[in-house]
Amino acid sequence: MRRPLVAGNWKMHGTRASVAELINGLRQQVVPAAVEVAVFPGSLHIAQVVEGVAGSAVVVGAQDCAIEAEQGALTGEVAASQLQDVGCRYVLIGHSERRTVLAESDDWVVRKFAAAQSCSLVPVLCVGETLAQREAGETLAVVGRQLDCVISALGVDVFSKAVVAYEPVWAIGTGLTASPQQAQEVHAAIRARIAAESGDVARGVRILYGGSVKAASAVELFGMPDIDGGLVGGASLNADEFGAICRAAGS
């Protein structure tokens, strides 16, 4: 039985004041214990959030980490060991905004994934196709390739301590959501790809859906057999909406 996870990606949003308000709102949400809740603030606010959610069930993640696991001369980056030290449990790896806007390569994605795990962080590997790739019928091939990069470099067992997030690029921040059937098709293919290497790992790995998830769409999405929760961007900046999405994962 996989425990549902709802993860809120705050992206490049927040001031100390708005983050304090959001923490306060989150602490008031009643979410079934069966659902794991994680929030991913920008690096500047991680320490504030770790402190602010202390004593609650909410855990904290980072939106990225450096390709090197340990501290060193790498200006502007944050090492996985530093994220672990400040209290993070998760880290997003290969978010499409980083792959496209910052030209993050598959090689870097693999290195960041490995760096995260070497510091006992749980990587959330983001995969997904663009609209052009979907329209060309390439969705499963693209997602399969993004997954294979990690499997071939690090082996399938790394997914026993990782999460996959399927995030169609065309659905991120656009208000467009994959239908539950479209999402389930890709989630099932991701699980099947992992199962081809290890049935046990495939049965245990949590696969989240991300792309304009709202409370209104969450129940149906999370009701699909291979969707184990969500990675939520815009809607996670509203504590009540995010709380409702978290509750949907427990229904």
What are the residue ranges of helices labelled H in 42-179?
46-52, 80-86, 96-101, 106-118, 131-135, 139-154
Which C-beta is closer to ligand PEP: that of 69 or that of 235? Answer: 235
Which C-beta is closer to ligand PEP: that of 159 or that of 209? Answer: 209
| 128 belongs to an annotated ligand binding site | no
| 72 belongs to an annotated ligand binding site | no
Q: What's the min distance (Å) between Cβ of 212 and ligand PEP? A: 4
| 11 belongs to an annotated ligand binding site | yes
Residue 177 is classified by DSSP as -
Tokens (6 digits) for 48: 């504030």
Tokens (6 digits) for 148: 């294979």
Which C-beta is closer to ligand PEP: that of 71 or that of 174? Answer: 174
Q: What's the min distance (Å) between Cβ of 199 and ligand PEP? A: 29
- Asked whether the beta carbons of 222 and 229 are under 8 A apart, the reply is yes
Interface ranges with ligand PEP (CB under 6 A): 9, 11, 167, 172-173, 210-213, 231-235
Give the Cα separation of 51 and 205 in Å (integer). Answer: 29
Q: What's the min distance (Å) between Cβ of 196 and ligand PEP? A: 27
Q: Which residue is nearest to ligand PEP (CB)?
A: 233
| 233 belongs to an annotated ligand binding site | yes
> Annotated catalytic sites, by residue?
95, 167
Q: What's the min distance (Å) between Cβ of 237 and ligand PEP? A: 9
Q: What's the min distance (Å) between Cβ of 67 and ligand PEP? A: 21
Give the Cα separation of 105 and 248 in Å (integer). Answer: 34
Distances in whole angstroms, Cα of residue 155 to Cα of each of 8, 138, 141, 178: 28, 24, 19, 29
Half-sphere exposure of 203 (CA within 13 A, CB side): 4
- Asked whether the beta carbons of 22 and 239 are under 8 A apart, the reply is yes
| 170 belongs to an annotated ligand binding site | no
| 9 belongs to an annotated ligand binding site | yes
Distances in whole angstroms, Cα of residue 42 to Cα of each of 11, 19, 97, 114: 6, 10, 14, 21
Provide the pairing of β-strand 59-62 with 206-210. Answer: unpaired
Residue 101 CB contacts under 8 Å (≥ 6 apart), including other chains: none
Output the known binding site for substrate: 9-11, 173, 212, 233-234
Output the known binding site: 9-11, 173, 212, 233-234
